[in-house]
Amino acid sequence: MPENPALALPRPSAAGNLLRHARYVLAGNPVTAFSFLLLLFLLGCALLGPSLVPHDPQASNALRALQAPSAQHLFGTDQLGRDILSRVVVATRLDLGIAFFSVALVFAVGGLAGVAAGFFGGWTDRIVGRLADTIMAFPLFVLAMGVVAALGNTVTNIVIATAVVNFPLYARIARGEALVRRNAGYVQAARLTGNGELRILLTTILPNILPIMAVQMSLTMGYAILNAAGLSFIGLGVRPPTPEWGIMVAEGASFIVSGEWWVALFPGLALMLAVFCFNLLGDGLRDIVDPQRRT
């Protein structure tokens, strides 16, 4: 075995260590550092955006419809003369919100189910496994469409649909991680010290797989945004006139051929940037959490 001299060095504290590790990873990885900055920017838009934008994102003006980018309208205007920059910025909150809540939901349900399946095995495993298999056997995007179509196209249902299609992924990852740890020494030790199985699951297994799940959550955030955009393109998205990137791209798509490229391009870029950010961030987090398994 190659000896790793770094491991032999004394280490001060967990938090400090993680911070230093993060800094090390970021310094050696400008792409991840960039994605962190991007995330801060997006969060800034989501929190402060509505009070910063130059125009009312919903105010139409038929006289100014479909104007190319100019000093007054940096991103141009759309079919109804609304300021695209304002709409793109304001949409950040909704899009990030959809992504965040769907990921939180799937983590809570899928992650927990997966951990239980991996840890308890037996029937729990079989039921969760079957459920995940059944969902996997569906084409995911079509399933998401079906869920939204069946429940109605509200933000809540988009969140639910995104969570449902991600369930197998989370359940599988959590199951795998729990399975590896099910008979780890410290879990056996916890049994010896009188912890019940459920308690071990919640206090021992779950916290230990959190970092790996965090990586997945970041990657899924990007997918959730894309998913919502795809649903919007089909016409199952958020209700108009609420600004949302997917709808804006879908609406703008019909103007590309006629030369009004800005209508679709800027929301498309925002969408891409956000998904890009979360994907890179997920990669970066993986480097920090688990350098061995970066994919």
Partner 1 sequence: MRRRTLIASASAALAAPALRPAAAQPAPTRAETLLLVQEYGPNSLDMQGIGSSQPVNGVALNCYDRLVRYKRVALPGEGNGSTFDITSLEPELAESWQEASDGMSCTFRLREARFHSGRPVAAKDVKWSLDRAVSIGGFATTQMNAGSLEKPEQFVALDDRTFRVDYVRKDKLTLPNLGVTIPFVFDSELAIRNGGGDPWAKEWLKNNVAGSGAFRVEAFRPGTETIYVRNDDWKSGPLPSLRRVIARDIPSPSTRRALIERGDTDISYGLPPKDFKDLAEARRVKVVGVPVPNAIWYVALNATTGPFTDVRLRQAVAWALPYEAIMQASLFGRGVPMWGALGGPTTAWPQPFPYSTNLARARELVQQAAPGGVTTSLLFDAGSGTIAEPMAVLVKEALAPIGINVELSKIPGANFRGELNKKTAPMVINRFGGWLDWPDYFFFWNYHGNNSIFNIASYQNPAMDRLIDAARFAADADTYAGAVKGFIGLAEQEVPMIPIAQPLHDVAMQRSIGGYQFWPCREPDFRFLTKG
Partner 2 sequence: MSAVPLLDVRDLTVEFATRRGTVRAVERVDLSIGKGETLAVVGESGSGKSVTSYAVMRILDRAGRIAAGTVTFSGMALRDLPEGEMRDLRGWEISMIFQNPRAALNPIRPVGRQIEDVLLQHGQAGRGNARARAVEVLESVRIARPAERYHAYPFELSGGMCQRVVIALALACRPQLLIADEPTTGLDVTTQKSVMELVTELTRARGMSTLLITHDLGLAAAYCDRVVVMEKGRVVETASASAIFRAPSHAYTRRLMRATPRPGAGLRDLLPEGAAPFPPAPIPGAPLLVVEGLVKEYPRAGGSLLGRLAGRAPAEAPFRAVDGIGFEIRRGESVGLVGESGCGKSTTSMMIMRLLDPTAGRIAFDGEDIGAIPARRFASSAARRRIQMVFQDPTDSLNPRHSAARAIADPIRRLGTLRGAALAARVEELASLVGLPAALLDRFPHQLSGGQKARVGIARAIALNPELVVLDEPTAALDVSVQAVVLNLLHELKLRLGMSYLFVSHDLNVVRLLCDRVLVMRAGAIVEEGPVERVLGNPAAAYTRELLAAIPHPPA
Partner 3 sequence: MLRVALSRLGTAVPSLIGVVVVTFLLTRVLPGDTATYFAGPVASAEAIAQIRAQLGLDQTLPVQFGRYVADLARGDLGTSLGTGQPVLHEIATRLPASAELTLSGLLLAALAAVPLGILAALRQGSWVDHLCRVVTTAGVSLPVFFTGLLAVYVFYFLLGWAPSPVGRLDAFATAPPAVTNFLLIDSLLAGDTETFLAALSQIALPALTLALFALAPLARITRASMLAALDSEFIRTARASGLNRRTIVLTYAFRNAMLPVVTTLGMVFSFLLGANVLVEKVFAWPGIGSYAVEALIASDFAPVQGFVLTMAVLYIALNLAIDLLYGLIDPRAKEG
Interface residues with partner 3 (CB under 8 A) are: 28-31, 130-131, 133-134, 136-142, 145-147, 149-150, 152, 222, 226, 229-230, 233-235, 246, 249-250, 253, 256-257, 261, 264, 268, 271-273, 275-276, 279-280, 283, 292-295
Instruction: Supply the minimum distance, in Å, between the C-beta of residue 46 and partner 3.
Output: 18
Q: Give the one residue of 3, 15, 257, 295 binding partner 1; rule: CB under 8 A.
A: 257
Cα(144)–Cα(128) distance, integer angstroms: 19
Helix (H, G, I), strand (E, B) or coil at 58: coil
139 binds, among partner 3, partner 2, partner 1, none (CB under 5 to 8 A by kind): partner 3
Asked if residue 253 binds partner 1 (CB under 8 A), the reply is yes
For partner 3, which is the closer residue by CB, 90 or 226?
226
Contact 211, 290 (CB under 8 A): yes
For partner 1, which is the closer residue by CB, 87 or 93?
87
**CA-CA distances (angstroms) from residue 94 to 39, 42, 145, 213, 235?**
15, 12, 19, 23, 17
At residue 112, what are phi and psi to the nearest 5 degrees? Answer: -65, -45
Cα(166)–Cα(248) distance, integer angstroms: 25
Q: Give the one residue of 43, 74, 80, 136 binding partner 1; rule: CB under 8 A.
A: 80
232 token code pair: 């919007």
Q: Which long-range contacts (CB under 8 A, 24 or more apart) does 140-144 make?
A: 140/165, 141/165, 141/227, 141/230, 144/227, 144/230, 144/231
176 token code pair: 């795998």
Helix (H, G, I), strand (E, B) or coil at 82: coil
User: What is the dihedral angle through the alpha carbons of 234, 238, 244, 248, rounded to the nearest 10 degrees?
Assistant: 40
54 binds, among partner 1, partner 2, partner 3, none (CB under 5 to 8 A by kind): none
294 binds, among partner 1, partner 3, partner 2, none (CB under 5 to 8 A by kind): partner 3
The 14-43 site mask, x for binding partner 2 (CB under 8 A), equals x--x--xx--xx------------------
Token pair 């009070």 is found at 51
271 binds, among partner 1, partner 2, partner 3, none (CB under 5 to 8 A by kind): partner 3
Which residues contact partner 2 (rule: CB under 8 A)? 1-3, 5-6, 8-14, 17, 20-21, 24-25, 184-186, 188-197, 204, 207-208
